[in-house]
Amino acid sequence: MQFNQSLKNYNTFGISVNAAAFVDITSVDQLKQVIQQNNNKLPLFILSGGSNMLLTKDVDALVLHLNTKGIEVVNEDHDFVWIQAQAGEIWHDFVLNTVDKNLGGLENLSLIPGKVGSSPIQNIGAYGVEIKDTFHSLTALNLETLEIETFSNIDCEFGYRESVFKNKLKDKYIITSVTFKLKKAPHILHTSYGAIQQELDLMNVSNPTIKDVSYAVIAIRQSKLPDPKEIGNSGSFFKNPVIDKNFYHSLLEKNPDIPHYPVNDSQVKVPAGWLIEQAGLKGYRKGDAGVHTKQALVLVNYGNATGEELINLAKYVQATVLQKFGIEINPEVNII
């Protein structure tokens, strides 16, 4: 156990704050032991990849850095393979592992930062796919009983960037592994969302495989999204707002090129990045806190921004979009 540990290298925004205590967790048994030894002396803070959070102050807690590893096939039939990954596996590495095995379902989620254990918490998604589409189950440590429990897809109550672990079960469990049900060939590809088909055309691919789709997604993300190793960020900072279809049609009168994606018969989803860019904030910067120059959905730390400065920037972006479009956009990242 380390004390007064800097978390600058453990969060992708690169915010310089300290943890009261810090332990690198490499097994479930160790996780249980550390929690028992702590005996509620310090509150617990679960740290995975640090990619979906904005730290605004020192963490007065015992930080448990989940670094467990392991990927294995746990079941298989004629059409599907059930594959389990430990919580500490890097998400993108896991996706590439499934693509290399020619198992379809996660290829659209290539290059999303973070680790496997945090992926169900906000039901991560991109390019028309969410993990709920292939999620089978997860195991999680009950922090009250220290027993491992299993949650099914239904148990997780997935929604748009939501799950039961962000709401009524928040801070009550630590996810230890996740199992996905992935498709053997022939695969069902999702190439109509965003610029995937356009990228495949540029690649001169007319009959794409899941590896082609993964390559296309990676190319798109790399062209638009900054590498956290080069400039601090957490990927998409805001959720894409879901609005009433009638309200959307009223917006079309003044904004005929506003994009949308149908959600159901009465609602549509509008890209938050488009709203921010049209509000004139793409590339906006105040000190070391800024809106990325290539993708307005991403807030960045140009070097020494504090969490508070990034929060103030986010509030300014929200207020500007609300004033221009009458649409409220909300953060996707956890603000701590």
Catalytic residue among 51, 163, 236, 309: 236
Active site residue 332: yes
Alpha-carbon span 182 to 79, nearest angstrom: 9
Phi, psi dihedral angles at 322 (to 5 degrees): -65, -40
The H-or-E segment that residue 154 falls in is none
Alpha-carbon span 177 to 311, nearest angstrom: 32
Catalytic residue among 89, 107, 199, 332: 332
Active site residue 177: no
Catalytic residue among 161, 177, 214, 234: 161
Cβ neighbours for 243, distance < 8 A, ≥ 6 positions apart: 267, 268, 269, 270, 327
Alpha-carbon span 101 to 308, nearest angstrom: 43
Alpha helices in the chain (DSSP H): 28-38, 91-100, 196-202, 210-224, 245-252, 272-278, 307-325
Active site residue 309: no
Alpha-carbon span 279 to 293, nearest angstrom: 14
Alpha-carbon span 125 to 108, nearest angstrom: 8
Q: Which residues carry out catalysis? A: 161, 236, 332
